[in-house]
Amino acid sequence: MAPMTAPADLPLAGVRVLDLTLARAGPTCVRHLADWGAEVIAVQAPDGGRDVIARDGFDYQNLHRNKRFVSLDLKSAKGREAFLRLAARADVLVENMRAPVKHRLKIAWEDLQPVNPRLVYGSISGFGQDGPYAQRAGVDQIAQGLGGLMSITGEPGRGPMRAGVAVNDVMAGTLLAFAIVMALYQRDRTGEGRYVHTSLLETQVFMLDFQAARWLMAGEVAGQMGNDHPTLAPMGVFPTADGHVNIAASSPAQFEHFCAAAGRPDWPGDPRWSSGRRRAENRAALNAAIAAETAKRPSAWWVETLEAAGVPCGPILAIDQVFADPQVQHLAMAAPVDHPRLGPTHMVDSPINLEGLETEIRSVAPLAPADTDAVLAEVGYGPDEIAAMRAEGAI
């Protein structure tokens, strides 16, 4: 591994981000920016120290690292005035409030663009910034259902099933980070900021990918297929002597290689399985025949044998096994952290690789906003003004 890169040498060094996010989608976006060098100022409402335990929890710490934290009451005149000073000097603002909230607080794009024409303003909502659902509250599982994912996840006849992670939150945050970087790149040419946004619903429809294209272009409504691939066979989960493996042997060459490795060179000549279309049509019989063979040997044997034969095959690991896997360890996806309160621990590292650059977790999320005075001083507030704002509850 290369030495950790100095923060000033990271690609987003010098980009100042105002973070108004909460939950998961918005913080995921900001985490991308912060990990790669942006100076992030997280603005939180004064709360009297509530949720202290949650702030040292694994989720909050993993999402809110590498930030400075300030408290501002955006509903107060002085708090909003301080926020506008910060916005005037920011490059990026990210928020994932319900669409009406930022308008009520008068901190929407149209409010801030005159204050800072170079500002890139990024938003994530549940269902879009306008339209019939714009005012609804949206969370990941609601978008999974409305956006079709739950109708194609799980086994046939078992009812709708959610995915095991917050796929829309994570992907919406990632897509918004991508949009923000595009807008910053364009700003270098035009000198003007831009409003960029996505939603959990748009993200989910986008992630339907070929299943959406099946409907749009071929009129086919996908259903639940369990662990089987929707259109290709054999591709799915098969039992072994000590567990299960994933096997993907759907191409003609891969199927022949698989059959030879499994000791069944006769299978490609079986009329039921002699083409990709016939294998898909007779999937149940083919899967049963394969399962009878794979159950005879342990998972490691199948992974090694099929890999040598050029057939994709892999184990099915629990999360503790994932982080013990040699390839995952080689990729260093568990970032070490010497946490000042929790001691030595790990957080999930960035999956983005820029050759020659290495990120690190430079700071952990505090129990309470700790940078308020320093940040306000940077935008011109004196000690007496800060003390007065604190006395009034504006910070």
What are the residue numbers of the active site? 169
Token reading at 139: 């969370």
CB-based burial label for 49 (10 Å; 0-12, 13-18, 19+):
exposed
How far apart are alpha carbons 389 and 43 in whole angstroms? 15
181 membership: H or E segment, kind and range: helix 167-190
Distance, in Å, from the CA atom of 35 to the CA atom of 42, rounded to the nearest integer, reads 14
Q: How far apart are CA 216 and CA 94, in angstroms?
A: 33
**What φ, ψ does residue 195 adopt, rounded to 5°?**
-90, 120
User: How long a stretch of residues is the chain?
Assistant: 395
For residue 106, give the amino acid letter.
K
154-162: Cβ within 8 A, 24+ apart: 154/224, 154/226, 155/224, 155/226, 156/223, 156/224, 156/225, 156/226, 157/224, 158/224, 161/224
Residue 387, both tokens: 């003390």
Whole-angstrom CA distances from 241 to 35, 287, 313 are: 43, 16, 15
